[in-house]
Structure 1
Amino acid sequence: MPRHRLYLIAVLALILVSATLGYCSRDVEISVPAVAPHSYGKALRQAHDGLPGAARVLYQQLQRGDLTPIRRAALYAELPNYPSPKALELARLDLQHDDPMVRRAAIESIRRLLPAGQRSLVLGPMLDDDEQSVRFAAVDALLGLDADAIGLYFGPLQQALEAYQQALLEQPEDSAAQVHLARLYLHEDDYAHAALALQRSLQLSPQNLDALAVQVRLLERQGLHDESRQVLAKALALQPDSAFLQHDLGLWLNRHQQTEYALLAFARAVELEPENTDYRYMLAVTLHQLEQVEAAQKQLQTILDRQPASRNARLLLIQYWKETGQLQNVQVLLAELERQNPDDPILQQGL
């Protein structure tokens, strides 16, 4: 065969191979994306249900740049159950997110991830955020810290708190806003203004349970304990099957060193609203205070059976199992936790 024909065949073959490889690589890039479209919903369910690998997939989703703000915010509702340096790093990055919804969600997540002493260093700068709602979210996250914990952000916090109060004052027809305003005044021991805010709220909504609970605390803070009890008694007479009021009664009895009676109120709250893990958790704590350790363990195990992602219930149950020397049960709980989140700080402590 003449040499020029061999050369032509070789060139055509090279072109054909190059074109085929280019098409194949393009096809692979399209058909196998880095993150499957359905993976967000699957990851969110995995985290919410406390399934193995939950932390890993949750972190992966938070590293995506294509999620809508509402989807991103939903991930932050789950993140506090999966603490680690990586979790904190991701949340801190989203304090600079373009959307205020995401910044607020990151603030709330960090509030639950960090102990009080470390919170102001991370969230203090958010008191100067351009968006008012984000500044107010930072105020809510920092309230209750002492002056030493707030540190250099004491002045900015006071300024933001005053602006927050003014904004709520301008919503006199919003019952929930007035309850929140009362809480802010109560934090500052401004009892007169707190009472006025509660009065406005209860005029708008006489059966507002949140308002009644804050009213009880306000009266207690002023030393009016009989009056606070009467507020609760009156509310319970009108709504005896309110799990919220039964729980609040239990809290009141606990604060007044009547733990045995508090136990009855907490048990009633759980009976009325068995799916409420906060109520069941408080029942477990009270049972433990009364040295009914086995019953407390059963309540915490019920929480984990229904919500395996509940880290607080898991850690408290680990503590209670340790107290009774049931180290095999401790190992089971730790092994489940490691499958959920191998970087959880508690795993570094061992038994």
Structure 2
Amino acid sequence: MPRRRLLLIALSLLILVPGVLGYLWRTPQPAAPVLPPHSYAKALRQAHDGQPGAARVLYQQLQRSDLPPIRRAALYAELPSYPSPQALKLARQDLEHDDPIVRRAAINSIARLLPAAQRSLVLGPLLEDDEQSVRFAIVDALLGLDPDDIGLYFGPLQEALEQYQQTLEQQPDDAAAQVHLARLYMHEQAYAQASAALERSLALAPEGLDALATQVRLLERQGQHDASRQVLAKALALRPDSAFLQYQLGLWLSRHEQHEYALLALSRAVELEPDNSDYRYTLAVTLHRLEQVQAAQQQLETLLNRQPANRRARVLLIQYWKETGQLQNVQILLAELEQQNPDDPVLQQGL
């Protein structure tokens, strides 16, 4: 072999061998931690069931960047049960998410996390969002706020509200859309337009419960209280075992200061649909209003046994236990809350 070729081979080995040995002897770097495939479903179930550590695992999932939008959006349905500065930070970040479904889910979550006075400051800028459905979600989140709470966003909100109404007007064959349209018109006290929208909805679905409930509220807004009662009475005569209608009757009676009779209707609604948290919560509030405090506490205890993650019921029961001086029960509820979410604002108040 020629001398020149031997020199080239030797030189190549001098260059390659140190690199190969360095690769073989290098200290391996730890791989980035990967969450197991089941961690999402496990975390979602843990949050939904109010298990210890629920807030922590929920926040961890929202910090992931590899979740499909539909899964990410599902997490926001649970987030309002675990309020904290971290929860709000995560939700605010997703107001800029690329997918509208995630932005809408974050909007709905923030609307439940923040009091009215702060809501428009966080959500108002999205009235300029490029996606129409996102702008309409902001309208739903801000509707009903006082003009002072809406502040600088009053003009953009009215513009988006008008666009929302125009879009729903173009869906005359959608019963649910017409009910929503009626509610938007009621907000503006445009009662004739609201009534027309409800008539369209009921023509499409004569037994539509949402439409019937909205019709009751519309008649009340116009001072037609007897007519509103008759709408409920007629519907209940046809479906006396409807938990929804019994609940609506209870609400109507409460609005008209007939709390003793409301109690009967609300109790019937809970009997017909015992797992409905709204029905049982309202029953507890009505019992407390009638100074049946122990019975109210029992209803909230039942609700928490069925739904440990129901923070609204937990906070109210803490208040009721405090009123009766049963501080040991308060401590138990606070300890459970701390296990779920150690950063919950209620914990800062203590006993």
Give the letter aligned to residue 282 of structure 1: T
CA distance in 2, matches of 1:142, 1:14: 63
Give the letter aligned to residue 121 of structure 1: L
Offset at residue 15 of structure 1 (A)? 5.9
The CA deviation string for residues 121-147 of structure 1, in whole angstroms up to 9 with x for no partner, is: 001011111000000000000001010
Counterparts of residues 167-206 of structure 1 (less than 5 Å): 167-206=167-206
Residue matched to 1:5: none
- TM-score, L = length of structure 1: 0.93
CA distance in 2, matches of 1:143, 1:33: 43
Residue matched to 1:260: 260
Residue matched to 2:7: none
CA distance in 2, matches of 1:125, 1:18: 52
Q: How many residues align?
A: 337
Residue matched to 1:6: none
Give the letter aligned to residue 178 of structure 1: Q
Counterparts of residues 104-253 of structure 1 (less than 5 Å): 104-253=104-253
Please give the secondary structure, in 1, of the residue aligned with 2:78. helix
CA distance in 2, matches of 1:18, 1:125: 52
Is 1:96 aligned to residue 83 of structure 2? no
The CA deviation string for residues 213-238 of structure 1, in whole angstroms up to 9 with x for no partner, is: 00000100111000000000000001
CA distance in 1, matches of 2:271, 2:26: 66
Is 1:318 aligned to residue 323 of structure 2? no
Residue matched to 2:63: 63
| Aligned residue among 21, 24, 27 for 1:19 | 24
Give the letter aligned to residue 19 of structure 1: L
- TM-score, L = length of structure 2: 0.93
Offset at residue 38 of structure 1 (A)? 1.5
Give the letter aligned to residue 149 of structure 2: A
The CA deviation string for residues 69-95 of structure 1, in whole angstroms up to 9 with x for no partner, is: 000000000000000001000000000
Offset at residue 181 of structure 1 (A)? 0.2
Q: Which runs of 5+ in 1 are unaligned?
A: 1-10
Residue matched to 1:4: none
Segments ≥4 residues shifted beyond 3 Å: 11-18
Offset at residue 20 of structure 1 (A)? 5.7
Give the letter aligned to residue 44 of structure 1: L
CA distance in 1, matches of 2:101, 2:184: 22
Q: Which runs of 5+ in 2 are unaligned?
A: 1-15
Residue matched to 2:329: 329
CA distance in 1, matches of 2:221, 2:82: 36
CA distance in 2, matches of 1:262, 1:17: 81
Give the letter aligned to residue 139 of structure 2: V
The CA deviation string for residues 249-275 of structure 1, in whole angstroms up to 9 with x for no partner, is: 000000000000000000000000001
Give the letter aligned to residue 62 of structure 1: L
Residue matched to 1:286: 286
The CA deviation string for residues 273-324 of structure 1, in whole angstroms up to 9 with x for no partner, is: 0010110000000010011111111110111111111000000000000000
Please give the secondary structure, in 2, of the residue aligned with 1:241. coil
Residue matched to 1:3: none
Counterparts of residues 45-64 of structure 1 (less than 5 Å): 45-64=45-64
CA distance in 2, matches of 1:128, 1:207: 38
The CA deviation string for residues 80-128 of structure 1, in whole angstroms up to 9 with x for no partner, is: 0000001000000000000000000000000000000100000101111
Give the letter aligned to residue 55 of structure 2: A
Give the letter aligned to residue 157 of structure 2: L
Offset at residue 34 of structure 1 (A)? 3.2
CA distance in 2, matches of 1:344, 1:253: 35
CA distance in 2, matches of 1:12, 1:52: 55
Is 1:72 aligned to residue 72 of structure 2? yes
Please give the secondary structure, in 1, of the residue aligned with 2:77. helix
Give the letter aligned to residue 243 of structure 2: A
CA distance in 2, matches of 1:125, 1:17: 54
Please give the secondary structure, in 1, of the residue aligned with 2:244. helix
Please give the secondary structure, in 2, of the residue aligned with 1:36. coil
Offset at residue 18 of structure 1 (A)? 4.8
The CA deviation string for residues 41-96 of structure 1, in whole angstroms up to 9 with x for no partner, is: 11111111111111111111101000000000000000000000010000000000
Offset at residue 14 of structure 1 (A)? 10
CA distance in 2, matches of 1:172, 1:251: 29
Residue matched to 2:338: 338
CA distance in 2, matches of 1:57, 1:344: 15
